[in-house]
Amino acid sequence: MSPAKTPAEIIDVDGHEVRVTSPDRVVFAEPGLTKLDLVRYYLSVAEGALRGAGGRPMVLKRFSKGLGQEPFFQKRVPENHPAFIDTATLRYASGTSAEETVIRDAAGLAWVVNLGCLDLNPHPVRAEDLDHPDELRVDLDPMPGVDWAQIVDVAFIAREVLEDHGLVGWPKTSGSRGLHILVRIRPDWDYADVRLAAETLAREVENRAPGLATARWWKEERGESVFVDFNQNAKDRTVASAYSIRPLPDARVSTPLTWDEVQGRRPEEFTVLTVPERFRAIGDPHAGIDDSAGSLDGLLALANELGPAEKPPRGSDGSGRRASTMPLIEVARTKTKPEALEALETWKARHPEATAALHPADVLVDGMRGSSSLWYRVRVNLQHVPDAERPAQQELIADYDPWAGRSGS
């Protein structure tokens, strides 16, 4: 978010003073929402937001330069954090560690919003037990060309698989195009077991709904289906939690639903302007989630029945790298998404015949995690382009290096 232009405002949140800098700064131009509006939104849904993010270490995703710029991801809690902000030290697979932010009350919500955070990104563990997740996260991620009805169909199949294995799923909109299903579990398993259970769930959903859903990790192999993203359960991964504001122009909110609502409601209905009234009227549909913790024994037993998941072939060049089964070409690597989309349009203009043969899911624009922010990779899958018309791999239209200038890159 841009430099302060208005005096700070001090608000009292349950006895804690929270300083909101630049309270009148407009964050969402379309609905005209200011920074202070966003703080007040989170305070209005604090009970639900804390049910999803409270007591969990979280990565701070800070839009310090506004929605038009990429956010940066801050793992370490700011040194000057107030006394009502708790912390927990997480250790990563890389061997590094970070003392991360833990919020426990409404004042904590207001404080992180003042830092420029829109969505809340907690880990699936409690601060008191960092090695054993108490939440399995089902992320239904639609590929381009997939409509809402297909997402809904896959959601109900996922619910059926969960129930068949003794678990309860709690749906919410992702705040973008997809759906999340949250599953409380007893903290009796480590990250590897939770990820295996999630992958097994995804494979079983694909088995029950071939063509509609996929558990294929490699994006170019999914087609026009709903990807059941099991890797959101890997250690160090976070997901926008309930009542999070998403960085879309309409200030959309990741909103808990009842299963009766899943088919008839749409993500665009739930925004900063509409959700507080819904919360006042019906409360939090996920109010009972903490009472539904279940066991992973059923899914882990299914994992043994299904056997190991299919692994991709390795290249023959001795590098050990995965070899794609699809005719992929890379178009660009860019710092921002607008630059990525511009590079894609440049490629399309150069190759109109190939472009005409592409299906929506053949265009792959991926946000890639860099050291502290996202960068973007553009690829095209030529599977639907006749062999004779397939463009060859050429020099990248843009070749951004997110690691340039960093030691050990």
Q: How far is CA 146 from the centre of its chain?
A: 18
Residue 370 clears pLDDT 70, i.e. is over it: no
Do residues 30 and 249 make contact, with C-beta atoms less than 8 angstroms apart? yes
- What are residue 166's phi and psi, to 5 degrees? 80, 25
**C-beta separation of 248 from 269 below 8 A:** no
Question: What tens digit of pLDDT does each residue of 4-35 get?
Answer: 468 999 999 999 999 999 999 999 999 999 99
Q: Which DSSP helix (H) or strand (E) runs through 13?
A: strand 9-13
Query: In 296-351, which ranges are continuous DSSP H helix?
Result: 297-306, 337-350
pLDDT, mean of residues 106-121: 97
Q: 330-354: per-residue pLDDT in tens? A: 889 988 888 889 989 999 899 988 8
Q: 170: pLDDT confidence band, cut at 50, 70 and 90?
A: very high
pLDDT at 406 over 80: no
Residue 288 corresponds to which tokens in the numbers above?
Answer: 């009972």
Q: Considering only CA atoms, which of 16, 46, 35, 20 is closest in space to residue 280?
A: 46
Predicted local confidence at residue 371, as pLDDT: 60
pLDDT at residue 1 is higher than 60: no
Specify the 3-state DSSP secondary structure of 10: strand
Q: Collect contacts of 210-216 with beta carbons under 8 A, ≥24 apart.
A: 212/150, 212/153, 212/154, 212/157, 213/154, 213/157, 215/309
| Joined tokens for residue 35 | 């920074």
Residue 56 contacts residue 126 (beta carbons within 8 Å): yes
Q: What is the average pLDDT across 113-125?
A: 96
> Helix, strand, or coil here: 409?
coil
Mean pLDDT of the chain: 91
How big is the CA angle at 231 (ends 265 and 76), to the nearest 5 degrees?
95
**Alpha-carbon distances, residue 39 vs 19, 45, 113, 300 (angstroms):** 11, 10, 6, 41
DSSP β-bridge partners for residue 126: 129
Nearest to 174 by CA among 101, 222, 236, 119: 119
Q: For the chain, what's the residue count? A: 409
Alpha carbons 171 and 143: distance in angstroms, whole number: 19
Q: Give, as one character, the DSSP assignment of residue 14.
A: T
Query: Which residue matches tokens 């899943």?
Result: 262
Instruction: Give percent above pLDDT 70 in the chain.
Output: 93
